[in-house]
Amino acid sequence: MVAVVTISDSYESQGEPFMRFEVQTITVRDQYKIAHPLSAMVGVQEDGMPTGLAYHLGIRSMAHNPIEYEGWYSLTHLASGLCVSWDPSVKDEATARRWLELIASLADWTQPGCILKQHASRLQEQVEVACRQACAEQQAEEQKREEVKTAATLGGVFPGNACLE
């Protein structure tokens, strides 16, 4: 199964820290260090400084042209073209954006990959914690929307509130 997803041209974060995302063609590298171009959303800080990170659909196979994608998102280090992390539970752009926002301050991701690899075990743990946090925040947001939708269908009574008269 091949996932087909349309990525918007740009997005501006609604939370802190303020970050915008721009669609760009980036280069990712496979296990043989072969470069493959693909469309991704690149994170840019409020002051215009690049984060050095991008998110895109997870890659199933780069052996085909075009690349075969999964239905979940992955983060890529732009300087090296290598995957920072991926998680099959990150199934929407909002969660992928939040995940990138959470890890952007963990390191100077604009550095070459060989420098970041010196801190790989510490960074990987923090990236995984950030992924779980982004997923939990998205799940809480979805639950809140569902409660509001349910309350609206019940005549406007919101959960946790006494009867409004």
Tell whether 23 is covered by a domain: yes
Q: Band of the pLDDT at 154, cuts 50, 70, 90?
A: low
Establish if 158 belongs to a structural domain.
no
pLDDT band at 160 (very low <50, low <70, confident <90, very high): low
Under DSSP, the state recorded for 64 is S
Q: Give the total number of structural domains in the chain.
A: 1
- Geometric angle at alpha carbon 5, from 106 and 26, rounded to 5°: 50
Q: Evaluate whether residue 2 is within a structural domain.
A: no
Label the pairing between strands 50-61 and 19-29: unpaired
26 is a domain residue = yes
pLDDT (tens digit, 9 = 90+) per residue, 83-119? 999 999 899 999 999 999 999 999 999 999 999 888 8
142 inside domain? yes
In a domain, 82, yes or no: yes
Per-residue pLDDT tens for 28-71?
A: 988 888 888 999 999 999 999 999 999 999 988 887 777 888 89
CA distance 137 to 22: 23
Task: Give the max Cα distance, the chain.
Answer: 67
Residue with tokens 């609604």: 14
Please indicate, yes or no, if residue 136 is contained in any of the structural domains: yes
Q: Where in the sequence is the domain holding 107, given as residue range(s)?
A: 10-153
Mean pLDDT of the chain: 83
